[in-house]
Chains A and B, each alone.
Chain A
Amino acid sequence: MVAMPATRPRWRRRLRRYGPAWVGSAIVLAWILVALFAPLIAPYPPQAQDIVNRLTPPSADHWLGTDVLGRDVLSRLIFGARLSLLAGFSVVLLGAAIGVTVGIIAAWARGFVDEALMRFTDLVLCFPPIILALAIAAALGIGSTNTILAMLVVWWPKFARLARALALVQRSQEYVEAATVLGLKPVRILGRHILPNTLGPLAVLITLDLGNAILTFAGLSFLGLGVVPPTAEWGSMVAEGRELVEQWWVATFPGLAILTVVVGFNFLGDGLRDWLDPRTRGR
């Protein structure tokens, strides 16, 4: 009898496969909790100024230091999570809702409607997103709602494209043909067969895209378009600290906050994709 070689320890393979997904969920969940319970966690009110103690480095009183107006960076960071997550979720979820509706209508109607909807989608896609968002946000005026609206305008087309492609693939599947032969109504085929099978890839894109949306929102805020000044927001916090190289903590920590959230969503999205992919699931 030949000795069976030891397989690589199971925990190591599991860690490689599921580790990132778990880390991602943990990060995302942690930030969501921070955002929800910001008033309970934050040591100071986010707007409270303390001019005497302005620009103090991280200390026991102010773990992450204070900014130009003596506001506690940690507290502003914690409150900033609210706006960033809210913006990210509303842009991506609303964008996905609009895009998926457009995409599925296009795939289902075909012909002229398909052509018209897709040309319109292409039109929006031929703008560099940040420039269009910048123009719209500037025109609408400064404020988080307006910035979210501006982002929505540039956000939905990729979902329309993906949803249309997925629906077209589904249409030609044999089980959809089988459903047709069984005499099921189009609505039922769409709802019971096509939609459930497109949700997986959509969920992956949505998750990965949440990070993107948060980045873009922070970017617009950094340029001064996202929020009206005293409001705590990560992008604008970096903007306030960008000249302060000596007082590095003012700009560094909000940036790290953005980085961790985006990393979290990326891990989660990748994990979701691996988990949904039947090719990698079995192994």
Chain B
Amino acid sequence: MPRYIATRLLSAVAMALLASLVVFLISALVPGDPVLAQLGDIQASNPQTVLEWRAKWGLDLPLWERYGIFLKGLAHGDLGISIATRRPVLDDIVQYAPATVELATIAFLLAIGVGIPLGIAAAVWRDSWVDSLARAISLLGVSAPTFWLAFIMLAIFYGWLGWAPGPGRMDPIAFPPEGPTGLFLIDAALAGDWEAWWDAAAHLILPAVVLAAATIGLITRTTRAAMLDALGQDFVRVARAKGLRARVIVLRHALPNALVPVVTLGGLAYANLLAGAVMTETVFSWPGLGRYTFRSAAALDFPAIMGITLVVSATYLLVNLLVDLSYGLLDPRVRR
């Protein structure tokens, strides 16, 4: 087993590096010019300024040399300097990541907490009103554009009803909790600052619901389909012939057999939530990686984009590995 994990980790690192190479090649070969994006038309019309600027950022070097520099930096944990913020990319990522991780995790918990029970209920009471409700929720969840849902939620619950706080992670006049993790809920709890905790929690609700919407839909659907499949298996009929209670049949016999596809999707969904945060964070002015990504892309800040790609694809691959390993726990046939 350790050898298997080691091989998988190595191949994940290789894949992440390849991914960064792809982004690097895109950055080098496509027509978009960061000089124009950074300097603006007037400064860019002066060839001298442009040349100096290019030299400063190493854009005058040959392609392979630039990638070599990137790799050398990477070996020292250095992802380069962001063209837009003029700060080390790694520092930027470390600064913005916690906000996104906090948001994505809450959204993920929400999605599985709602999606799995709803999917089970829909399968057990097939063709009933519960099933119809689950279908409607999952359909709207996967069909509503995230950015629009964010707008509607803000408009209704903040703008119109005033039940929810506005955009951002905290009230603008409040002091964010100091702490080691950067996750406000945990830092506030560690500091015992419950006022800040409530403030952070209240600010999390709307964006988390919006971000979770599509995932709830997907998980509900998958759980329902997998449960229907499991409930149709022969061993469920055997369990019924044994005279077991419906609760036991559903939860102890059918559910464990339905979990593999759900976990697969769940792993993918968590990684996708990190990425899907781009739109939610933009609307909710959430100071996270999503907004950073968007700003970097708009500014053609390729060092930043490469760094983000590296981090996000590494997370992706890691989550995939965890999902694969969890199969062994769920299904004895894989454990061999």
Residues of A with Cβ closer than 8 Å to B? 16, 122-123, 126-132, 134-141, 211, 215, 218-219, 222-225, 235, 238-239, 241-242, 245-246, 248, 251-252, 254-255, 258-259, 262-263, 266-267
Contacts and interface: CB of A to CB of B under 8 A. Distances in A.
Interface in B276-316: 276, 278-279, 282-283, 293-294, 297-298, 300, 305, 308-309, 312-313, 316
Interface in B118-154: 127, 139-140, 142-149, 151-152, 154
A224 B317 CA distance: 29
Interface of B: 15-16, 18-19, 22-23, 26-27, 30-32, 127, 139-140, 142-149, 151-152, 154-155, 158-160, 271-272, 274-276, 278-279, 282-283, 293-294, 297-298, 300, 305, 308-309, 312-313, 316-317
A251 B151 contact: yes
11 contacts: A123-B19, A126-B15, A127-B316, A136-B26, A138-B297, A139-B27, A238-B147, A245-B154, A252-B151, A258-B148, A267-B139
B159 A245 contact: yes
B142 A127 contact: no
Contacts of B274: 128
B148 A139 contact: no
A266 B142 contact: yes
Contact of B294 (A123, A218, A223): A223
A258 B140 CA distance: 11
Contact of B293 (A134, A139, A224): A134
Given A123-B15, A141-B32, A242-B283, A131 B148 contact: no
Given A128-B312, A263-B143, A135 B297 contact: yes
B31 A135 contact: no
Contacts of B159: 245-246
A139 B147 contact: no
B148 to A, nearest CB: 3
A82 B139 CA distance: 24
B23 A135 contact: yes
Contacts of A211: 142-143
B152 A127 contact: no
A210 B127 CA distance: 27
A139 B32 contact: yes
B152 A252 contact: yes
Top 7 A-B residue pairs of the complex, sorted by shortest distance between their CB atoms: A255-B148, A128-B275, A139-B30, A245-B159, A262-B143, A138-B297, A139-B32
Contacts of B27: 135, 139
A259 B151 CA distance: 14
A238 B18 contact: no
B14 to A, nearest CB: 10
Given A138-B32, A219-B279, A255 B151 contact: yes
Contacts, number: 138
B300 to A, nearest CB: 6
A224 B147 CA distance: 12
A215 B149 CA distance: 12
A267 B138 CA distance: 12
B143 A123 contact: no
B145 A258 contact: yes
B155 A259 contact: no
Most buried by A among B127, B147, B276, B317: B147
Nearest to B132: A16
A251 B316 contact: no
B22 A222 contact: no
A154 to B, nearest CB: 11
A137 to B, nearest CB: 8
Contacts of B283: 242
A122 B15 contact: yes
A178 B140 CA distance: 46
A123 B18 contact: yes
